[in-house]
Copies of this chain bind each other. A is one copy, B any other.
Amino acid sequence: MAAAAKLLRGAARRPPALRLPAATGRRALGSAPPGVAAGGGSRRAALLAAAAGALGGLGLGLWRRQQQEAAAAASGEDEDEKEDEELRRRFMAPPVSGLRELRRRRRELRSRMELLIMETQAEVCRALAALDPGASFSVDTWERKEGGGGISCVLQDGQVFEKAGVNVSVVFGLLSEEAARQMRSRGKSLKAKDGKLPFCAMGVSSVIHPKNPHVPTMHFNYRYFEIEEADGNKQWWFGGGTDLTPTYLNEEDAVHFHKTLKEACDKHDLKLYPKYKKWCDDYFYIKHRGERRGIGGIFFDDVDSPSKEEVFQFVKSCAKAVVPCYIPIVKRHCHDSFTPEEKLWQQLRRGRYVEFNLVYDRGTKFGLLTPGSRIESILMSLPLTARWEYMHTPPESSKEAEILEVLRNPKDWVH
């Protein structure tokens, strides 16, 4: 934690990242095989660094990071190495950009955000695994050939969790016009050159589907984007949110969940919780059903004010609130007894979850449209099992009708 905190604070142990002028563009960089790069002399290395610069310094190829790490290791910086070792133990896997690279550009927000999402992934996975002792997270690291990669942690078919996924991804490259359209759908105007925009997107994203119908499904996602327009102007913004999808309504849980989120927001600005609570209710709306996916939480996107630092601190507070939001609810109900009818209702609600994610969710759509996306990580959000019955309508005044009422008419849980 200390090492991560140090990196997160951006303690200046080294000069800031060197920026070389733009040169030949990234196609050459992307297509250079690792073997060739490793064998290159200093002129070649300079050229490659310059090529990366043409991308606006949005990231570096994995092969290049490995090369740098090898070189740095040889020069023997023992103290950094010790800190890195601690982070390696804490994190679920080595960060996509490499610890040395993150250290090199520690003052940059994208580095601090990458460390935050790694921390959050590790924290949440540890908290979940502690509740489901027989099960364990499978950890997959993957590379995206167009640039970047990710770490997918999935626990499947445990005692407590049916499917729990916590993913980190750090991807960069060129955004297709179609994907860009998805991103700017909230009014971001982006000036593309030849229909392509260099971008960098990173985030931690998680969906937890428990087995017991009395334990709600939880989702959170915190993300950061950088995008470079044709004129060299760089846009950046944050997005994210945490929301709860119960099968049955439990008011005490709903209040606890929203209250914890509100506290995280209130530390930064009292206007944030009401605004992002409403945004959440609006975003997770299954239009064709006339109901929300769940009982909400907070949701925000395209946030680029008041300042990069302030938004980052707010996002950090939200990410830190995930465990205290959700884990007490799981603990409270994971041993509750339930009937086959309650399990069936859970399965029907899982069907609705699938409908929202595949038809409306911007993150999913963006993922499916981004070339080289890791589909298994994107669709990890889908439940293990789901059900669709034709014309299923719960009886009036039933517990099933009670939650439907709240999904149709969102409530204020905290005043």
Chain A 382-405 residues near chain B, CB threshold 8 A: 382-391
Nearest B residue (CB) for A385? B387
Q: Within 8 Å CB of A375, what residues of B?
A: 288-289
In the bound assembly, the distance between CA atoms of A140 and B355 in angstroms comes to 23
The CA-CA distance from A376 to B389 in the complex, in Å, is 9
* A388 and chain B: residue at smallest CB distance: B382
Find chain B residues with CB under 8 A from A154 CB: 390-391
Query: Which A residues are closer than 8 A to B by beta carbons?
Result: 138, 140, 152, 154, 156, 163, 165, 287-289, 347, 351, 354-355, 358-359, 368, 373, 375-376, 378-380, 382-391
Top 8 nearest A-B pairs (CB, nearest first) are: A358-B358, A382-B388, A154-B390, A288-B368, A288-B375, A385-B387, A358-B359, A376-B391
Option from B165, B288, B385, B390 in Cβ contact (under 8 Å) with A156: B390
A391: contacting residue among B140, B289, B355, B385, CB under 8 A: B140
Cβ–Cβ contact B359 & A165, under 8 A: no
- Known contacts A288-B375, A355-B358, A368-B359; A387/B384 CB under 8 A: yes
Shortest CB distance A357–B (Å): 9
Q: A156-B390, A358-B358, A390-B163 are in contact. Are A382 and B288 (CB under 8 A)?
A: no
Please measure, in the bound complex, the distance between the C-alpha atom of A163 and the C-alpha atom of B391, giving whole angstroms: 12
A382 lies within 8 A of B289 (CB)? no
Complex Cα spacing A202 to B358, Å: 26
Q: A17 → chain B, closest Cβ, in Å?
A: 35
B contact residues around A368 at 8 Å (CB): 287-288, 359
A390's contact among B347, B380, B390, by CB below 8 Å, is which?
A: B380
A358 to B165, CA, bound (A): 22
Q: How far does the alpha carbon of A152 sit from the alpha carbon of B386 in the complex, in Å?
A: 23
**Distance in angstroms between the alpha carbons of A215 and B288 in the assembled complex:** 31
Q: How far is the CB of A168 from chain B (nearest CB, A)?
A: 15
Measured CA separation A354–B358 after assembly (Å): 9
Which residues of chain B are within 8 angstroms of A391 by Cβ–Cβ distance? 138, 140, 154, 376
18 new A-B pairs (CB below 8 Å) besides A354-B358, A385-B385, A385-B386?
A: A138-B391, A154-B391, A287-B368, A288-B375, A289-B375, A351-B382, A354-B354, A355-B358, A355-B379, A358-B358, A358-B359, A359-B368, A376-B390, A380-B390, A382-B388, A384-B389, A385-B388, A386-B386
A383 touches B388 (CB 8 A): yes
Q: Quote the shortest CB–CB distance from A351 to chain B (angstroms).
A: 7
Sampled A-B contacts (18; CB under 8 Å)? A138-B390, A154-B390, A156-B389, A163-B388, A163-B390, A288-B375, A351-B382, A354-B354, A354-B358, A355-B358, A358-B358, A359-B359, A383-B388, A384-B388, A385-B387, A386-B386, A386-B387, A386-B388
